[in-house]
Structure 1
């Protein structure tokens, strides 16, 4: 990869991120580690609760199985980011330990591990959108296509294929020693009138992650990252979100027409009863589930689309990687962490069944009074 100075120099490309971006990064990086730690700790607890609630027997459904797999991937990303934040941003330990070979290996592992399981989250979100679209567009195919077996296969594929898709990242980085300083003060006396001064290079005690210098490989990796891992999922989810919204509006209009038609032959009390019965039979619950998933997709697009566009910019102009991508890298990390942590709030605010199951589970684990006779209806996808 060409250095910013070598290829961009003082050209117009640098002006996009310098000096404002660098000033922002130098200020924000002082707080990023602490903000990220708070989000990761809260998010780890939230995703653990998501797994505990969604995996309950009364919550069994294809949709909730995918959401459970999504929560596991998000939890792993956050658990991995906690020691990374301590090491890189909070700077726990001595400078020597933070620049040791072991620390470099961990950063190398973190780069691959976090991207792999974040990719799992991306493809599980796409699977969730496809399953939901089939459920409301082709309800007759829902039980056949979106059954438990196919759902488990889709989840397994997401976890199996994502490491392969992220494999090029493995070749993008190398652990290299940072050369020690030259010492020119050593002198040998071979004879009484001859002095020989030599330079002694101290052995390297620091190691760092370096991007590959193969420009073609680096460009190919950025294309894979920006297009296949980020941009294509964003486009697919945008299309599915629009289709879901259109289908919901169509269902609402059809329901309103049926209510108006029933008003011709029934009184107001009977019409209200029909409306209530329609909601109890699944129409209202289906709409609530779809709205919750639309909110989840919107949150995903808000966090992933900027990364996709940044990655595409880097793929088309690789020299901007160090100039711009590094400048806003922490901000994009934070956006991804927020997106992974906030699902619990989304489920609680939009799913009555999730709240009820969470309350019952909390009462089992905590010394709280428990209500009697409470029944739950499983959420079907």
Structure 2
């Protein structure tokens, strides 16, 4: 059990794909590591009442008493969290909800239904739900200034845990795997077109999305049962209040807390962070090389006056470039999270190398950058896809008319029939 404290510290304050590394006091009052800290806290109520009534916020959060019940002020760097999640996040939520809803509406049009677009729609929904579920709590805590209050009753604490930690992490995990599926799909389209006719069909892609959703749910499923909240009475601002005290579930001790968290985070680092990010970097490089090769071939076809093939290659290159940009934006915000997660595991199991005060602030900012990236895809689609822009104008701009003649492309070569055009096909 040498590392139980470290795993528990990382996990209990985890939120939206492992974004917080905060000391949650999983040790005895003297600092020694013990697995029965839940039993220790069961006997602390009377002593705690005296101390809490005399503590300032800073004193309280730096003490061991702060970890007895759920108090968000002590879990987050409030000076950073309050402006980002209290004042900026509401605007980001509105922008993300509108932008991703528009993406789904546009891509769900009949002439836009392709295997690639189905994956893009699923990504938009997962990103939107990742932000929607914790939003009510973030607004309550930071926008309305209630972060300093102890949370109660028990049901509210459970809802906070599920909606701020477990469910967003599930959707974010699905979004990561969907991004990888998108890159793999595009690689097959570009580099192995004959195989794409068999493997990148609509039924197969839909099955893949279902499998990704099930896998993301199963990955997070144990987290619904890892923490238990029980009523706890304490003195807060001179009044006796019922709050809720969180503790790890008893079943974790029957199978070893250290073993469980080691298995969980090993899987998460490998299959949610390291392998997907590494694979996406490799696929991006391969797609970029294939795009450059196609550009050379396009110039040769243009000189030979083979305009049909030339325009097809141009269209395919535009689509590939757009998806490369989407994946690159994803990697820019995900790689820092993966790096800090790996550093934490090294710090927890081999040698202590992290300054957690700095790491907490860094990950909080990185988490915010991930949220900031959610509306960007809509701008990418509008800026780089003529087909997306035309469909958007038809749906939402009064008087906008798009000519649909024989030269209007609706499907990529591997997705269905199409003619030649310079517009990007999603």
For Structure 1 versus Structure 2, the TM-score category normalised by the shorter chain is 0.7 to 0.9
SS at match of 2:361: coil
Partner of 2:372: 338
Contact 2:294 2:313 in 1 (8 A): no
**Which of 264, 289, 311 pairs up with 1:246?**
289
The whole-number CA distance in structure 2 between the counterparts of 1:240 and 1:94 is 43
The whole-number CA distance in structure 2 between the counterparts of 1:210 and 1:89 is 24
Contact 2:106 2:112 in 1 (8 A): yes
Contact 2:115 2:200 in 1 (8 A): yes
Question: Which 5+ residue runs of structure 1 have no aligned equivalent?
Answer: 10-21, 183-201, 263-270
Partner of 1:140: 194
**TM-score normalized by the length of structure 2:** 0.70
Matched ranges for 1:193-204 at <5 A: none
Per-residue CA shift, 1:141-198, capped at 9, x if unaligned?
Answer: 222110111111111111111111223444554435555249xxxxxxxxxxxxxxxx
Q: Does 1:28 align with 2:80?
A: yes
Partner of 2:49: none
Per-residue CA shift, 1:246-276, capped at 9, x if unaligned?
Answer: 111122223334445x3xxxxxxxx4xx3x4
**Which of 323, 334, 350 pairs up with 2:384?**
350
SS at match of 1:328: helix
**Which of 207, 210, 232 pairs up with 2:244?**
207
Question: Which 5+ residue runs of structure 2 have no aligned equivalent?
Answer: 10-22, 32-73, 416-426
**Which of 358, 377, 380 pairs up with 2:409?**
377
SS at match of 1:327: helix
Distance 1:95 1:31, change over 3 A: closer
Greater gyration radius: 1
SS at match of 2:229: strand
Contact 1:70 1:124 in 2 (8 A): yes
The whole-number CA distance in structure 2 between the counterparts of 1:371 and 1:77 is 35
Q: Which has the higher helix share?
A: 1
The whole-number CA distance in structure 1 between the counterparts of 2:324 and 2:174 is 19
- The structure with higher relative contact order (CA 8 Å, sep 6+) is 1
The whole-number CA distance in structure 1 between the counterparts of 2:297 and 2:180 is 28
State the Cα RMSD in Å.
Answer: 3.0
Contact 2:393 2:400 in 1 (8 A): no
SS at match of 2:106: helix
Matched ranges for 1:59-78 at <5 A: 59-78=112-131
Instruction: Give the drift of 1:93.
Output: 6.0
**TM-score normalized by the length of structure 1:** 0.77
Contact 1:60 1:378 in 2 (8 A): no
Per-residue CA shift, 1:302-331, capped at 9, x if unaligned?
Answer: 111111111111112237596455333432
Distance 1:91 1:48, change over 3 A: same
**Which of 108, 112, 135 pairs up with 1:82?**
135
Contact 2:103 2:124 in 1 (8 A): yes
Give structure 1 regions of 4+ aligned residues with deviation exceeding 6 angstroms: none
Partner of 1:13: none
**Which of 124, 128, 144 pairs up with 2:182?**
128
Partner of 1:45: 98
The whole-number CA distance in structure 1 between the counterparts of 2:147 and 2:83 is 20
